[in-house]
Chain A
Amino acid sequence: MNIAGHLSYWFTIFLTIAGLYIVIARGNLVKKLVGLAIFQTSVYLLYIAPGKLIGGTAPVISEQFKLYSNPLPHVLILTAIVVGVATLALGLALVVRIKEAYGSIEEDEILKQDENPPSNPR
């Protein structure tokens, strides 16, 4: 096990746990969604970094190049990026509705309002 070979994994793990920390430690809903997006992009890096071959090139066939990086993770991550933005759009739509229903996007205030509901429910 050499340090230089695994450095990319450790950077990715740092980004992952940073995203995880933002999701579980912050109470603001929009900030939680930002943390979730950071978590997702770190997973992209986790998949694509092992596919890279030093000395290779982008996987577009041409006569000048012989060694290509692995195209299979690129395909999977393309799908994952679009699914990620779909999730983000739905999450933000939910945040907008929560803001209109409860009047705030802080988790603590929403929980307090749920425990003692106001007199006129929407």
Chain B
Amino acid sequence: MKDYLVLRVIAKLMIAFMLLFALYVQFHGDFGPGGGFQAGVISAAAIIFYAIIYGLPAARAVVPDWLVETMVGAGVLLYAGVGIAGLLLGGNYLDYFVLARDPVEGQHRGIFWVEMGVLITVAGVMLKIFYMFAGRGRGEDA
């Protein structure tokens, strides 16, 4: 599909905006609709868009397999790690108010890292599932 000029130009314009919008949705999820899940799905959709236009090997060169598989596991670890941090600092598991001096600031930090963990896992899983489906019909491995 990269032989079509219109698709290529539009893809180059839109993918940057899509990734930026995903980051906006993630960080602005505190003040409006948004949050980790939506941002993860939108950023995965941007990379899938790139893979559809420029081909799967090009997308695999930009976001390689080891990176995607690391993302799948790292998000869950980050989320569980925030819980462990709550344990180590004196509260119960997944207590946020012990993470900083001011309880509300601690809630902010806890929610920030938790949403980051959700973003990483959801983006990784959606992208990995697409890679597995799209790479299946060619006889090459995941």
Contacts and interface: CB of A to CB of B under 8 A. Distances in A.
Given A60-B31, A60-B33, A82-B37, A93 B132 contact: yes
Contacts, number: 17
A40 to B, nearest CB: 16
B66 interface: no
Nearest to B37: A82
Interface residues of A, number: 10
| Majority secondary structure of chain B interface residues (helix, strand, loop or mixed) | helix
Interface in B79-135: 122, 125, 129, 132-133
A44 to B, nearest CB: 14
A111 interface: no
A98 interface: no
B136 A82 contact: no
A89 interface: yes
Given A60-B31, A96-B136, A89 B37 contact: no
A78 B31 contact: no
Nearest to A59: B33
